[in-house]
Amino acid sequence: MDQVSIIQPVFEDESLVVFDKPQGLAASKGKTSSLCDLVFECYPGLADVHGYNTNEGGMLNRLDNDTGGLVMFAKSDKAFEYYLGLMQDEKIRKTYNAITDGKLKSDKGVVDTPIAHHPKNKKKMMVIDTMSGSFRGKPRISWTNWDFIEKIGSYNLLEVTIVKGLRHQIRVHLASVGQPIVGDKLYNRRVYPVKYHQLYACGLEFTDMFGKQRSITVSDKLELHCL
């Protein structure tokens, strides 16, 4: 992707700043340019917040490289603890748009199968049900709610909501019910004319540190023209 030297926030108050991460950009610092690099260049104070990891500063939620959308950064240690508490109490509602490939049996649904690490592939997660074999780690419970929005050719545009957000949760949950995300190289074997998998974090709802209800949205940038 093109390198971006400046990234603008989509929301900011005294405690929090939210950015719209481009698809294809890593969230955390690593061997290549990341959202953290771009954010800390413009907001160096965010790097000093004591968060999950020292090189992530106040970043509160991570997105997969291919997944674009809203990422939250706390502006202080106190703010980080507050918003971390909201997430742990499942009080931040996250909305995604996803394009999936499969025949829908209804216009809405919920997937609540526990998730664990794949026993052989360290990059993958898996759902744990009565047919599951071995897995790594402890299965964790999560819920993925989805609603059908419209057909895009032979594909489905879904609105997906979660309140927890385990690693690959939406991707592995939708694939487990026959709705793999278009372009997902881990959970969908088909090849599509898209650069990134078609999942975008486009909405956040929560109560901020000052008691005000916040609803933050962005337009997704999924590659509809390719499908």
The rounded distance, in Å, linking the Cα atoms of 166 and 162 is: 9
Closest CA to 142 of 119, 178, 176, 108: 176
DSSP letters for 45-99: GGGGS--SSGGGTTB-----TT-EEEEEEESSHHHHHHHHHHHHTT--EEEEEEE
| C-alpha 41 chain-centroid distance | 23
Catalytic residue among 37, 64, 184, 220, which? Answer: 64
Beta pairing partners, 205: 93, 215
DSSP 34: B
Q: Is the dihedral of CA 37, 39, 44, 50 positive or negative?
A: negative
Place of tokens 């997937």: 111
37 is catalytic: no
* C-alpha distance from residue 56 to each of 28, 70, 125 (Å): 6, 16, 23
Query: Catalytic amino acids?
Result: 64
